[in-house]
Amino acid sequence: MKRTVLCVLLCVALAGPALGGTPDVSYLPKVKAPAETPELESRDGGETISSAVPIPGIPFFDSGNTCGHIDDYDEACPWSSTSPDVVYSLTPEYDTCVSVSLCDSYYDTKVFVYEDYHSPGYPHECNDDNSYCYEPPTPFTSRIRTLHVFAGHTYYIVVDGYGGGCGEYELGVVTCVTMCPVECPPGGIDEGEGPCYDGYVDQFNGGCGSYPVAFSVVEPSADPIVICGKGGNFDNNTMRDTDWYLLDLTCDETTITACVEAEFPVMMGFIDMRGGCDNVSGLYSHVEGDMCVPHCLTETLPPGEWVVWVATWDWPGFPCDDEWVDYTLTIEGYETCTSVDGLEGSTIERSWSTIKGLYR
Ligand SMILES: [Ca+2]
Ligand SMILES: [Ca+2]
Ligand SMILES: [Ca+2]
Ligand SMILES: [Ca+2]
């Protein structure tokens, strides 16, 4: 496949006129919606490893209260405590990966896991505070995002607390949902934006949500264009990275097919940019869905500027600093019909240096 050149404008401002305030991009929220909470049954875990409550299968949800139980175990990650604890056991029939969550509990929890036996000081995994719990009822709840478990072993999950605290807990043990590496294929073009992080300000390709506005400009190609990007949530799931890929269509009409496949639940859509940022009125059309499978959208579009927009779907978790942040975006049908003069009709102000940059 011919290597297609993507002219990524590295943080190049499409310096607009004085915007008189931030354009309305509230329809493309970087702020995320609340998640649904799974229904939970009510039963306390066992007092010790020898009386641990077995987890019959995944997914598993349970609730209980550690108050009134005994402080049998502790692991410091990084704080030691004297909180009472209860124990569950998981004996997987095959090698897998699970997430262990106390996120929705009502006290300052801690969770740790032993493999096969009590190994004080050497837990299999431990988490006290998980900053990526989505809207926990109380701060400092816990979650082990990826717990690798192997057939032939038993894993003791200890529900514990911080300090000497105890309370009502909500335990969830589910299959890891992000075990699907999305590889960048040969010829794939790097988005160029690094992973996001807490406090991140997207001045790279946050489109109309960036100030000044900033896009990744895609050059037309007769071949499919494959872009390898990164996305994720940050600031405790209140923000997400958004990627705006700008196309300038020059045909009377152009049929574009865009497909995205991500290591996180993903949302992708077209945005009509023909009126500039001030007149953007939401996603023209979009798809959204789970990680690990492609989601495609085909539209026949009139000439002018359009954006292909990619971001995490409205799910908690999937933080920027996780190893599962990659996606591929494939754009087909984006070809030049006439000349490159199409940009002359641009409604988005650009500096000359930017325009030169497009064809460098
Ligand atoms: Ca304890
Ligand atoms: Ca905690
Ligand atoms: Ca990105
Ligand atoms: Ca971005």
For 294-319, write each residue's pLDDT tens digit.
999 999 999 999 999 999 986 656 78
Judged by its nearest atom, the ligand closest to the C-alpha of residue 190 is 3
Say what the pLDDT of residue 352 is: 35
| β-pairing verdict for 304-312 and 266-272 | antiparallel
- Residues with CB under 5 Å of ion ligand 1 are 71, 74, 83, 85, 160
Alpha-carbon separation of residue 200 from 115, 121, 241 (angstroms): 37, 35, 9
Strand order in the sheet with 216-217: 216-217, 242-249, 304-312, 266-272, 285-289
Report d(CA 118, CA 10) in Å as an integer.
52
Say what the pLDDT of residue 179 is: 57
Strand order in the sheet with 168-175: 60-65, 168-175, 96-101, 143-149
CA of 208 to the centre of ligand 4 (A): 11
Least confident span in 52-56, 192-196, 346-350:
346-350
Alpha-carbon separation of residue 248 from 70, 192, 213, 252, 273 (angstroms): 66, 20, 16, 12, 9
Say what the pLDDT of residue 348 is: 53
Helices (H) and strands (E) in the chain, counts: 1, 21
| β-pairing verdict for 86-90 and 53-54 | parallel
* Global confidence as pTM: 0.56
- CB burial class (10 A; 0-12, 13-18, 19+) of residue 35? middle
Structure tokens at 139: 């701060």
CA of 178 to the centre of ligand 2 (A): 24
The domains found in the chain, sorted by start residue, are 49-175 (2.60.120.380), 189-358 (2.60.120.380)
- Residues with CB under 5 Å of ion ligand 3 are 193, 229-230, 241, 243
Mean pLDDT, residues 233-260: 92
Structure tokens at 355: 């325009």
Q: What percentage of the chain carries pLDDT values higher than 90?
A: 63
